[in-house]
């Protein structure tokens, strides 16, 4: 059971925690570019080994576009590819800015996201949250490691001198939260029926002695 009065550090995933995403939109966008009937699912498209290599920086954007286009047997411009690849990224809940600002007064805030160069450039260009909210933004393609590998959590704990039992991690994927829990970090899975504000209120992050 999470004891909010002991929490000093909060780590947030990006997709479906801070930023709403819908993988089906990218799946459908690529199906339209293929101009043929296919049975691709979100799993077969986005859990391809090329995506994992892209998310850990083993492939840059140029290499990924070429290899992934060859995999799908399509020939499109870089712009067409990026529009389809970014289709999954919907919006940032502007109500989260006040939440994060309030939390920042009493907790150290971090991001830890499995992401890739194209999505990173797109999200950063949106300026979703104010500068300075997060002490560190950890992105897998820049770190060379990805969740749920223990190394990525241990890296953050060591580099920023975070005590696991004083740290809370929000993610939308069970396996990523389990990876954090395996390193001693408190973890919460956010599902589609909940959002960050509701969960923070549910566990009293904003009403403990640590907060306003």
CA distance linking residue 158 with residue 108, whole number of Å: 15
Measured distance between the N- and C-terminal CA atoms of the chain, rounded to whole angstroms:
22
The low-confidence residues of the chain, meaning pLDDT below 70, are 208-212
Q: What is the CATH number of the domain that holds 180?
A: 3.40.50.1000
The per-residue pLDDT for 47 is: 82
Same domain, 9 and 96: yes
The per-residue pLDDT for 208 is: 55
The per-residue pLDDT for 209 is: 45
CA distance linking residue 85 with residue 87, whole number of Å: 6
Same domain, 69 and 159: no
Q: What is the CATH number of the domain that holds 48?
A: 1.10.150
The per-residue pLDDT for 14 is: 96
Q: Can you spell out the DSSP letters for 20-76?
A: EE-HHHHHHHHHHHHTS-----HHHHHTSHHHHHHHTTSS-HHHHHHHHHHHHT---
State which residues form the domain around 191.
4-20+92-202
DSSP 15: B
| Beta-carbon-side half-sphere exposure of residue 11 (alpha carbons within 13 Å) | 32
In a domain, 193, yes or no: yes
Cβ atoms of residues 28 and 94 within 8 Å? no
CA distance linking residue 128 with residue 148, whole number of Å: 25
């Amino acid at each position: 059971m999470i004891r909010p009065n002991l929490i000093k550090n909060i780590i947030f995933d990006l997709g479906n925690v801070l930023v709403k995403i819908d993988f089906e939109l990218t799946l459908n966008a690529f199906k339209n570019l293929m101009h043929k009937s296919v049975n691709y699912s979100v799993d077969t498209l986005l859990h391809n080994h090329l995506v994992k290599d892209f998310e850990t920086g083993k492939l840059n954007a140029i290499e990924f576009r070429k290899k992934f286009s060859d995999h799908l047997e399509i020939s499109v411009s870089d712009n067409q590819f990026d529009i389809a690849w970014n289709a999954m990224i919907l919006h940032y809940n502007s109500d989260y800015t006040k939440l994060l600002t309030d939390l920042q007064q009493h907790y150290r805030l971090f991001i830890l996201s499995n992401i890739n160069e194209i999505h990173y450039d797109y999200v950063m260009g949106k300026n979703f949250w104010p500068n300075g909210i997060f002490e560190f933004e950890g992105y897998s393609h820049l770190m060379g490691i990805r969740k749920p590998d223990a190394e990525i959590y241990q890296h953050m704990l060591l580099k920023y001198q975070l005590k696991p039992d004083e740290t809370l991690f929000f993610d939308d994927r069970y396996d990523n939260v389990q990876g954090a829990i395996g390193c001693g970090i408190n973890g919460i899975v956010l599902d589609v029926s909940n959002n960050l504000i509701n969960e923070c209120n549910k566990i009293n992050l904003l009403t403990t002695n640590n907060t306003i």
